[in-house]
Structure 1
């Protein structure tokens, strides 16, 4: 078997393990899922699992990082290249687009299930909080900081404290994720509309624009 075939087979095996672990973690919870159950679900040997992962915790981190964090660092970098902050309307448009992508990720069903699992089990397994925090919200916040650092290069944007500016924007969006997502009993979609996101961004804009430039509302003709 050549190297390409071996590499392809290894990726396939690893993906089988990830998909099996993801399914069981979200259905049963982290504590109630055993390596043996993951092995059985993935149809691989326990030795195969341990050839990729040292522990169940390592496997969970990989599930979170690669299976659930759809807005990856690479995807974020690609998006940032396309965003324009030349004028206040461009700043608004870019923040709306970025916020839409961020919320689409955080409101996905698997993310909400995972967040509920962490909340339910974090007292018994404190390590879960660190795994979840490092793989999802911290990385998300870092990506927003990158967004605002790029925006800050524009003459129409002035941000003295990138971290606080990032937390202010993310904090507003996350209230919707937790109140209308994680803590909601609804099984349907509670995603924000484009108009709601635009209104959030317009509320936020005065805190970062160098001068308060009037951005004409859609439909205004005056």
Structure 2
């Protein structure tokens, strides 16, 4: 029991440090962020930060890993994609949910902040951009490609290249609305804008795929 409580405290402290580090990264940029600033923000010791993360790069990687995994777990929830739980008629609705969840998560203030950070710092710190792409967009593409492959094997969807189709789908799902978010130009009625964008994106996706989904 005491050991479990200790692990829980350790996990909670680790999460607090990550939250503090993210605030520092978003406030100061990758170059301007220092372990001293994180230590002060988190009210932690240097020894604790280094023991958990090893340094600034480890902190940044851990932030991306945890934030993206949280989003992807929701994006590709098992009950939405399990071939034993859904059928061909469910495919359009599942893809609509994935598009809506991806766009909503990507337009959250924290997510936009990370995206802007990568855009501004990636030229000077290429590893920041590579890490973001590997843990975020590329991991989402690979997961969706596996789902599309399974659906194709069941005869639920007709695609020649699941990997390429996944890449196009994710790009269409974010579209212009995400760019407006990055630029700080989101509309006042964001929920309505997301609804409209998702409907248009899915209609366009089915057009370029060249396949009409079965009726629900």
Paired residues in the alignment total 213
Q: Which residue of 2 aligns with 1:84?
A: 86
- The residue number in structure 2 matching 1:193 is 194
Tell me which protein shows more helix as a share of its residues.
2
1:154-169 to structure 2, matched below 5 A, reads 154-169=154-169
Q: After alignment, is 33-42 or 173-182 more displaced?
A: 173-182
Q: What displacement does 1:144 show?
A: 1.9
Residue aligning to 2:64: 64
Question: For the Cα contact (< 8 Å) 1:181–1:190, is it kept in 2?
Answer: no
Higher Cα Rg: structure 1 or 2?
A: 1
Which deviates further from its counterpart, 156-165 or 45-54?
A: 156-165
2:6 counterpart of 1:6: yes
Match of 2:34 in 1: 34
CA RMSD of aligned residues (A): 2.6
How far did residue 146 of structure 1 move?
Answer: 2.6
Q: 1:38-87 deviations in whole A, cap 9, x for unaligned?
A: 01111111001111111201101111221355323476252322873423
TM superposition shift of 1:150: 2.9
Map 1:200-211 to 2 at 5 A. 200-208=201-209
Structure 1 residues 92 and 68: alpha-carbon distance in aligned structure 2, compared to 1, 3 A threshold:
closer
More deviation in 96-105 or 195-204?
195-204
Q: TM-score, normalization: structure 1?
A: 0.83
Q: Tell me the alpha carbon deviations over residues 108-135 of structure 1, each in whole angstroms, 9 at most, x when there is no partner.
A: 1111111111111112211110111112
Unaligned runs of 5+ in 1: 217-222
- Please name the residue that 1:219 is paired with: none
Q: 1:199 to 1:187 in 2, by over 3 A?
A: closer
Q: Does 1:108 align with 2:118?
A: no
Q: Could you say which residue in structure 2 is the equivalent of 1:220?
A: none
Unmatched segments (≥5 aa) in structure 2: none
* TM-score normalised to structure 2 length: 0.85
Task: Measure how far apart 1:91 and its partner are.
Answer: 2.4
> 1: distance between equivalents of 2:54 and 2:189?
37
Q: Does residue 148 of structure 1 match 2:148? A: yes
Partners of 1:135 and 1:178 in 2: CA distance: 19
Task: Name the CA shift for 1:157/1:185 in 2 (closer, same or farther; >3 Å).
Answer: closer
Helix, strand or coil at the partner of 1:164? helix
Deviates more, 1:149-158 or 1:50-59: 149-158
How many Å apart are 1:186 and its aligned residue?
Answer: 4.5
